[in-house]
Chain A
Amino acid sequence: MKETNIEDQFQAKIDAEIKIEPKDWMPDTYRKTLIRQIAQHAHSEIVGMLPEANWITRAPTLRRKAALLAKIQDEGGHGLYLYSAVETLGVERDELLDELHSGKAKYSSIFNYPTLTWADMGTIGWLVDGAAIMNQIPLCRCSYGPYSRAMIRICKEESFHQRQGYELLLTMMKGTDAQKRMVQDAMNRWWWPAISMFGPNDADSPHTAQSMKWKIKRFTNDELRQKFVDVTVEQAKILGITVPDPDLKWNEERGHYDFGQINWDEFWEVVKGDGPCNRERLAARKNAWDEGAWVREAASAYADKKSKRQKTAAA
Chain B
Amino acid sequence: MKNWPLWEVFIRSKQGLNHIHAGSLHAADAEMAIENARDVYTRRNEGISIWVVESKYIHASNPEDQGAFFDPANNKVYRHPTFYELPEQLKHM
A25's closest neighbor in chain B, by CB? B63
- A23 and B1 form a contact (CB under 8 A): no
| B49-87 residues at the A interface, CB under 8 angstroms | 60, 62-63
A153 to B11, CA, bound (A): 14
Separation in Å of the B25 CB from the closest CB of chain A? 6
A302's closest neighbor in chain B, by CB? B28
| A13-35 residues at the B interface, CB under 8 angstroms | 21, 23-25
* Interface flag for A202 (CB, 8 Å): no
* Interface flag for B43 (CB, 8 Å): yes
A81 in complex: contacting residue of B1, B23, B29, B62, CB < 8 Å: B23
- B23 and A93 form a contact (CB under 8 A): no
Separation in Å of the B67 CB from the closest CB of chain A? 12
B25's closest neighbor in chain A, by CB? A80
Interface residue tally for chain B (C-beta within 8 Å): 18
Separation in Å of the A211 CB from the closest CB of chain B? 23
Binary A-proximity of B1-37 (CB < 8 A = 1, otherwise 0): 1111010000000000000000111101100100000
* Interface flag for B44 (CB, 8 Å): yes
Within 8 Å CB of B60, what residues of A?
A: 23
A306 to B30, CA, bound (A): 11
Within 8 Å CB of B63, what residues of A?
A: 21, 23-25
A303 to B63, CA, bound (A): 35
* Interface flag for B48 (CB, 8 Å): no
- B29 and A303 form a contact (CB under 8 A): yes
B24 in complex: contacting residue of A25, A73, A84, A94, CB < 8 Å: A84
Binary B-proximity of A84-104 (CB < 8 A = 1, otherwise 0): 100100001110000000000
- B43 and A93 form a contact (CB under 8 A): no
Within 8 Å CB of B1, what residues of A?
A: 92-94, 296
A20's closest neighbor in chain B, by CB? B63
- A296 and B4 form a contact (CB under 8 A): yes
A70's closest neighbor in chain B, by CB? B43
Contacts A23-B60, A80-B25, A157-B44; A87 near B6 (Cβ below 8 A): yes
- B29 and A93 form a contact (CB under 8 A): no
A23 to B58, CA, bound (A): 13
> Which of B28, B29, B63 lies at the interface centre, i.e. has the most chain A CB atoms within 10 A of its CB?
B28
Interface residue ranges, B against A (CB under 8 Å): 1-4, 6, 23-26, 28-29, 32, 40, 43-44, 60, 62-63
Interface residue ranges, A against B (CB under 8 Å): 21, 23-25, 73-74, 77, 80-81, 84, 87, 92-94, 150, 153, 157, 296-297, 299-300, 302-303, 306-307
Q: Lowest 9 CB-CB distances: which A-B pairs, in order?
A: A299-B28, A300-B3, A303-B29, A303-B28, A84-B24, A24-B63, A23-B63, A94-B1, A300-B28
